[in-house]
Structure 1
Amino acid sequence: MTSHDHIQLTASELSVFFMSYLKDTLVVCVTSYFLEHIEDPDVRVCVAYALELSEKRVETARAFYKAEGIPIPVGFTEHDVNVKAPRIYNDVMILQYVTNLGIMGMSSYSLAVAQSARQDIRKHFTSSLNSSADLFNRSANVLQEKGVFIRSPFIPYPTLTEFVEKRHFLAGWMGDQRPLTSTEISFLYLNLFRNTLGGALLTGFAQIAQTKEVRKFMTRGSEIAKHHSAVFGKFLSESNILTPVSLGLNVTESTDHVFSDKLLMFHTNALNNHGMSFYGQSLAGSPRKDIATAYSRLMVEVGEYVMDGTQIMINNGWFEKPPSAPDRKELSKG
């Protein structure tokens, strides 16, 4: 059996390598800064592991790019971070952030494996998938040991198996609403969690952004996150589902420069792209019409926010162009 490793990279493989490289160089910058301020040794171990994983992936990606004769993306460097700047977030916030890195890594790299044909590429992304799961598990264990791991709500165990017999199961706009399913609860709660964490993150970003335009964009994002959290919380509370989202997050009052505005903008757009993907999964798993409609509306709001962010990046020369197909119309002009 041949490995087919000599075959050039496909468009899908180029895409996932490009985005992975940009995100990993970003994580190197962010976690390097975090390590300068962490006080809890257990949290330090998790953040150091996240940094180690991203550094290894960056080196592997560079080796692939060199072997294929492809220019290495710029991504993010030491020029995009001031590791000696004062602390922005407390240790719990940093640990939650790293735990979420594991969650997003599992999502991204599982898709990367499925999109890759070459065996060496699949091996690389499979390893990245496994290490992301390991990062999540390590961080989640520390959260539990510290007593700050927030579990999804509990519901009673079912006592019998049932099949849906009435169309009322899909209703939700008018009249009596059926109770939430465990799947709907899970998605609502996870999205509430992500928006709570994202809102706190963007609050810090708004304080340290260097330009008025970026500060305004980050503040807008924080407000969007609060609004979305309220929507998800309302659905849960209407079904008398407890939502114990008290993550212990703390943002300091520091306004010193930490990350470049280029890094802040890319980071925010990347998080929102993940958010829209999670919303899409949530929409597919939520049969109740009022919930599905809410996800559709919120996805549009996030999509508009991402487009505005992309425009800001383009206007400032911060948007690094992904590998693209040739412009045949221009080529035909000679």
Structure 2
Amino acid sequence: MNEDQAITSAEITQLWAAYVNDSALICQLEYFWATVEDEDIKSLIKHGLNLAQSHKTKLTEIFNQENYPIPYGFHSNEDVNLNAPRLYSDAFVLYYLQQGSKTASQAYNVSLSLAGREDVYNFFSECLQEQSELLKKVNTVLQSKALYVAFPSLPNPESYDFVTKQGFLTGYFGERRPLTGTEINNLFANYFRNALGSATLVGFSQVAENADVRKFMVRGKEIAQKHCEIFGSILHEDDIPAPTKMEDAVTDSTTYTFSDKLMMYYSTGLIALSVGYYGTSMSMSPRRDLGVAYKRLMNEILKYAEDGAELMIKHGWMEEPPRALDRDELAKKKG
């Protein structure tokens, strides 16, 4: 498929989301670059910033070619205070870059699978390759500074084996079997993401200007901390260590740093990612008690997400994504 073919709903939706994400990321990375002290981390931030700015330029060209309105997104002169004091430690920013690179790689992989037109496919293919290289560099710096958080190790079995008892699936009655490697990986990763999310929301709550936004961030922090406790307790049952919490990576700054609109965009995005990760974790956890736990936690954050969307709509912060025509509205205009 070439550039002369009409762009599909999947392609324009992914391009639109990529533009908004990059515009938000530019604001955040500009602030990190202005406040981070470690030169190795500053170099990674600059690399990520150059990528986001390049992507935004290429996306603008595609939108103009399609005569499609460019999303409003976020802007450095509106959504970030580059003169604000540091809100997060250098180590936190490095972990944030790592998780952001992982998330972006997954998003680009999905976008690539939905792209048929050559220019759109090539764009997302290039983005995926660039993000993979950035993640490798971030991991290298984490390891060089003894900050890399490795997943737990497992003992080597003597031989292969097959499941022979229905107890493999149980988790409420009788003796619980040990966690499988997949279950451990998901619990560990979900703990780490919640620990990072909790610290992020602690910082957001300190610098938010709107009272409703502050309450929303505090509530999210409490949810994330509770989820960490649940995941950690399950891991500890099998004597598996959980990652450490990160609230001490937040400074005491209360100076305006990010706009409430930008912070709400990021916090609701974190919620959406959590729903996806929990759903995947539930599908990959044969032990029934884990599936029930993930379902309960998903219901909690879905309610939180709904409240976040209502708050954004109330303040006019939610930009409408590409959608189908409203035929009824067109008929009303004709009348």
The bucket for the TM-score relative to the shorter chain is over 0.9
Q: Contact 2:13 / 2:322 at 8 angstroms: preserved in 1?
A: yes
Name the CA distance, whole Å, in 2 between partners of 1:280 and 1:102.
21
Name the CA distance, whole Å, in 2 between partners of 1:323 and 1:243.
40
| Deviation readout 1:133-186 (Å, 9 max, x if unpaired) | 111111111011000111111121122111111111110012100000000000
Q: Does 1:73 align with 2:90?
A: no
Name the CA distance, whole Å, in 2 between partners of 1:246 and 1:270.
21
Q: Alpha-carbon deviation of 1:246?
A: 5.6
Name the CA distance, whole Å, in 1 between partners of 2:243 and 2:26.
32
User: One-letter code of the match for 1:139?
Assistant: V
Name the CA distance, whole Å, in 1 between partners of 2:85 and 2:133.
30
1:41 is matched with 39
2:84 is matched with 85
Q: Alpha-carbon deviation of 1:245?
A: 2.7
Q: Alpha-carbon deviation of 1:330?
A: 2.2
User: One-letter code of the match for 1:109?
Assistant: Y
Name the CA distance, whole Å, in 2 between partners of 1:192 and 1:243.
7
Within a 5 Å distance, the mapping from 1:1-334 to structure 2 comes to 3-78=1-76, 79-245=78-244, 250-333=249-332, 334=334
Please say which of residues 181-190 and 154-163 is displaced more in the overlay: 154-163
Q: Contact 2:191 / 2:243 at 8 angstroms: preserved in 1?
A: no
| Deviation readout 1:222-259 (Å, 9 max, x if unpaired) | 11100111111011001111224366951000000011
TM-score by length of 1: 0.97
Name the CA distance, whole Å, in 1 between partners of 2:71 and 2:106.
23
| Deviation readout 1:183-222 (Å, 9 max, x if unpaired) | 0000000000000001000000000001100000000011
Structure 2 vs 1, CA of residues 244 and 196 (structure 1 numbering), >3 Å: closer, same or farther? closer
| Deviation readout 1:302-321 (Å, 9 max, x if unpaired) | 11111111110000011000
Structure 2 vs 1, CA of residues 256 and 44 (structure 1 numbering), >3 Å: closer, same or farther? same
Q: Contact 1:106 / 1:133 at 8 angstroms: preserved in 2?
A: yes
Q: Contact 2:199 / 2:247 at 8 angstroms: preserved in 1?
A: no
Q: Contact 2:188 / 2:243 at 8 angstroms: preserved in 1?
A: no
TM-score by length of 2: 0.97
User: One-letter code of the match for 1:80?
Assistant: D
Q: Alpha-carbon deviation of 1:90?
A: 0.7
Q: Contact 1:148 / 1:247 at 8 angstroms: preserved in 2?
A: no
Secondary structure of residue in 2 paired with 1:36? helix
Q: Alpha-carbon deviation of 1:271?
A: 1.5
Q: Contact 2:198 / 2:247 at 8 angstroms: preserved in 1?
A: no
Q: Alpha-carbon deviation of 1:132?
A: 1.4
Q: Contact 1:172 / 1:290 at 8 angstroms: preserved in 2?
A: yes
Name the CA distance, whole Å, in 2 between partners of 1:74 and 1:265.
16
Name the CA distance, whole Å, in 1 between partners of 2:242 and 2:158.
24
After the TM superposition, which segments of 4 or more aligned residues of structure 1 sit over 3 Å from their partners? 246-249
Q: Contact 1:150 / 1:246 at 8 angstroms: preserved in 2?
A: no
Structure 2 vs 1, CA of residues 247 and 141 (structure 1 numbering), >3 Å: closer, same or farther? farther
Please say which of residues 307-316 and 296-305 is displaced more in the overlay: 296-305
Structure 1 spans left out of the alignment, 5+ residues: none
Name the CA distance, whole Å, in 1 between partners of 2:141 and 2:245.
17
Name the CA distance, whole Å, in 2 between partners of 1:246 and 1:332.
55
CA root-mean-square deviation: 1.2
Q: Contact 1:203 / 1:251 at 8 angstroms: preserved in 2?
A: yes
Secondary structure of residue in 1 paired with 2:106? helix
Structure 2 spans left out of the alignment, 5+ residues: none
| Deviation readout 1:51-96 (Å, 9 max, x if unpaired) | 1111111111111000100110000001111111111001000011
Q: Alpha-carbon deviation of 1:110?
A: 0.5
User: One-letter code of the match for 1:163?
Assistant: F
Q: Alpha-carbon deviation of 1:45?
A: 0.9
Name the CA distance, whole Å, in 2 between partners of 1:312 and 1:244.
32
